[in-house]
Amino acid sequence: MPDEEKIIENYVEPDIIVEYIFIEKVDNQIKPINDDQAYQMGFFDLFISGQFKNNNLTAFKDLLLDEINYSVKTYDHFKSERVDLKDYQFGIVDNEKNVKEFDLMDEEFFNTLISSIRNLMIVGKNFNIEKFKEHQLFDKWFNKFSNRV
């Protein structure tokens, strides 16, 4: 059996897909997003049932850090070489583009994310999320990639 068929045969549909936008932190946030500020869009599969589960805060943080740290090391448009989540704030975006902001990725944050099955913004601590909601990049991410029902 070819590898592709084996992968398809073993594929398990995730219970939740979290769409995210990550915007690299900067010391001075001049505009809603600075011209030279790197970002990426992606998603995480969460499994809350079945044989494999990653539905806890520790597993989610590990998955998130692995993904983002791989990206910042691999792609030359990022200035950072490593991400520390303590330097970031987190926003959960609902269907009406309202954002609930969290300073920490803690149990309250994670429970809100899981229960809402919404979209995640990861941005620097000094990033103004409200100003960014008017930016075309936010609209592109929200309209093309967000979990809207």
pLDDT tens per residue across span 34-62? 999 999 999 988 888 888 888 899 999 99
- Cβ-proximal residues to 35 (8 Å cutoff; 6+ apart), any chain: none
**How confident is the model over 15-31, as a mean pLDDT?**
92
CB atoms within 10 A of CB 114: 18
The token duo for 100 is: 């609930």
Q: Give the residue with greater pLDDT, 96 vs 6.
A: 96
- Cβ-proximal residues to 131 (8 Å cutoff; 6+ apart), any chain: 32
- Residue ranges of domains in the chain: 3-145
50 — alpha (psi -120 to 50), left (phi > 0) or beta? Answer: left
Pairwise CA distance, residues 43 & 45, whole Å = 7
pTM of the model: 0.88
**Residue for token digits 């897909």?**
17
Q: What is the pLDDT of residue 115?
A: 82
**How confident is the model over 15-20, as a mean pLDDT?**
88
pLDDT beyond 80 at 89: yes
Q: For domain 3-145, is the CATH number 3.10.20?
A: yes
Q: Give the residue with greater pLDDT, 19 vs 7.
A: 19
- Among 72-81, 99-108, 110-119, the minimum mean pLDDT is found in 110-119
Confidence of residue 149 (pLDDT cuts 50, 70, 90): low
Q: What is the pLDDT of residue 148?
A: 62
Q: What is the pLDDT of residue 53?
A: 83
